[in-house]
Structure 1
C-alpha cells in the first residue's frame, strides 16, 4: 500500500532541487511600503524529506510601527534586538537558492521577501513558486475556503500558533506533502508559476522606486 507520505515523496522527485517553504509576518499588506518582521524557512529535499528549519525575527527599523500586533503578536520591544533584514538577507537567499519557493498565498510572501532582498542588494536565485492555496484550488478540495487553517484541518494538520511564521511554515510544509500526494494520485501537473524573470525584477524595482513618492522611505 502506498502511503500519503510516500506518494508526496514520489511527486517531489520530479523537482530535483527540492522545496523551500517560507512564511513571513509583516507590518502591513503592501510589500512596497511595509516591512517583514519575522521570516521562517523549511527546506524539503527532492525526495520529500525534511532537511532543515530556520527562523528569525526582523527589526524593521527605528520608529517603524510593527503593525497589527493583535494578529502576529509581535511588539516593538520584541523586535528591538532582532537583526535588520539586510543582516539576514544572504542567509535567506542561500536557503532559497535553486529551490521551488513554496508558501500559502505565495504571491504575498514571495513579493515581500523579494522586495526586502532587493532593498538589501541581495539577488534571490529562485525561478518558480508553488502556492499551497492555489494548489488546493487546482485539486478541487471540498472545503469552504482556502485559508491555511481550513486546509490544515482538511488534511488533519494541527496548528499550534496561528500567524507565527515558524508554525505557519511547519503547517504549510505538511500541507505541501499531502497536496503532492493528491496530485500524484490524480496525475495532476503542479501549478508552478514563474516569479523572478528579468522583467519581473525590473517591475519590482520600478514599483519600489515610485513607492517612495507615495510615502517617505522606511
Structure 2
C-alpha cells in the first residue's frame, strides 16, 4: 500500500522565530530524508521520502511523505535497517510520479538534511532520471552544522545530535520521523548559530556544473552495470 500524506501545521517554534535573518536564509527551508535500497545514488533507488517545510522565521509550514516503488524486481535493500519490504512498496508510486510534488516542495528553499550530501544526491539523481529539474541552489547539512557549532558530542550521528538537543527519536530510519527529528535539530542549531554570530554553512549543490557532473556519472554508471 502506498503511503502518501500531506498536512499543513500552524504550530510555530518560538525558539528560532525572528532569528537568523541577517546570517540565514529568507527563502525558508525544506528538511528532507530518504530511505534507499543502498548507498550508491547512481545505482540504488529511493524507496521513501519525507519533506518538512519551515519558514525563514522558524514556523512549521507543511509535512509530506510517501513510499516509492523502486521498480519491478528491485531489491528493497537493507530491510533490517529501514523495515520496508517489497510487499510494502508494491502499491507505492514510482519516483517519476512524485517527482513534481517533491520539486514543488523544495523550490526556492534551502535543502536541509542530516548528511545532506547523501540525501541531496539521491533526490537529485532520481529527479534527473524523471526529467524534473529541482529549483534548489544550496544545502544545509545539520551534521556539518553541528561540527561548525563545535557541539560537545562524541559523534555527529542523527541520534547523538538529537540526544544533545533532547529531541526524542520515535522510529529511527523512517523518513518521516527522521525528517521530524532533523527539523527540530535545525531549529536549535539556527538558534545557537544566531547567538554565536555564526554564518550558516551553506553549500552550493545545483549549478550547471553540478548537473553536468551528475549526468556524466549516471552515464558511466549505466556503462559499468554488468549485462544480464
* Pairwise TM-score range, normalised by the shorter structure: over 0.9
Deviations 1:77-133 (A, max 9, x none): 000000000000000000000000000000000000000000000000000100000
Measured after TM superposition, the shift of residue 195 of structure 1 is 0.4
Distance 2:40 2:198 in 1: 33
Q: Which residue of 1 aligns with 2:172?
A: 162
Cα 1:22–1:128, aligned 2, differ >3 Å: closer, same or farther? same
Unaligned runs of 5+ residues in structure 1 are none
Q: Which residue of 2 aligns with 1:18?
A: 28
Q: How many matched pairs?
A: 213
Does structure 1 conserve the Cα–Cα contact (< 8 Å) formed by 2:171 and 2:178? yes
Q: Which residue of 1 aligns with 2:138?
A: 128
Does structure 2 conserve the Cα–Cα contact (< 8 Å) formed by 1:59 and 1:81? yes
- Structure 1 segments, 4+ long, off by >4 Å, are none
Residue 32 (structure 1) aligned with residue 42 (structure 2): yes
Q: Which residue of 2 aligns with 1:87?
A: 97
Q: Which residue of 2 aligns with 1:41?
A: 51
Residue 57 (structure 1) aligned with residue 56 (structure 2): no
Unaligned runs of 5+ residues in structure 2 are 1-12
Does structure 2 conserve the Cα–Cα contact (< 8 Å) formed by 1:12 and 1:18? no
Does structure 1 conserve the Cα–Cα contact (< 8 Å) formed by 2:20 and 2:194? no
Distance 2:56 2:148 in 1: 22
2:221 maps to which of 190, 211, 216? 211
Superposed CA RMSD in Å reads 1.2
Deviations 1:130-174 (A, max 9, x none): 000000000000000000000000000000000000000000000
Query: TM-score, length-normalised on structure 2?
Result: 0.91
Residue 115 (structure 1) aligned with residue 125 (structure 2): yes
Measured after TM superposition, the shift of residue 10 of structure 1 is 2.8
* 2:35 match: secondary structure: strand
* 1:53 match: secondary structure: strand
Measured after TM superposition, the shift of residue 17 of structure 1 is 1.3
Identify the structure with the greater helix proportion.
Answer: 1
Q: Which residue of 2 aligns with 1:180?
A: 190
Residue 104 (structure 1) aligned with residue 114 (structure 2): yes
1:199 maps to which of 193, 209, 216? 209
